[in-house]
Amino acid sequence: MRARLGLAAALVSADGLSAHAASRETPAIDHAYIIVGVVVLVFGAISFWRASNRFGLKRTLEKVLRYALGIPLTLIALRELQALTGFPSNSLIFRFGVCRSLSS
């Protein structure tokens, strides 16, 4: 513990950490992703509002939670099944690269 504190103190006093952080370039944000995200959120809010008016708030929240939790949990279970047994293959489940981030 003491060695880590000494190393950190040496780097900070020698401007090691701050110089490294200052020399890094900040990543550029692709505004297309932000626009698509806003459109999806607006569409989701309108759809939720209409569904809650039609079916009631409790039933709509149950459906939203079922989808919001069900889809990722299903994909995680299928990915673990494939890691353990090799079945089903990637071409059957992950054809469009939906869960490539789960494997890494």
Residue range(s) defining the domain that contains residue 65: 28-103
Q: Please check whether residue 45 lies inside any domain of the structure.
A: yes
The rounded distance, in Å, linking the Cα atoms of 9 and 25 is: 24
Q: What is the pLDDT of residues 23-40, one digit of tens each?
A: 677 677 778 888 999 999
- Which residues 6+ apart lie within 8 Å of 87 measured at CB? 81
How many domains does one find in the chain? 1
Q: What is the dihedral of CA 62, 68, 71, 75, to 10 degrees?
A: -140
pTM above 0.75, yes or no: no
In a domain, 44, yes or no: yes
Q: Is residue 99 part of a domain?
A: yes
| Residues of the chain with confidence (pLDDT) below 70 | 1-23, 26, 90-104
- Assigned domain for 54 exists: yes
Q: DSSP states of 49-79 as a string? A: HHHHHHH-HHHHHHHHHHHHHHHHHHHHHHH
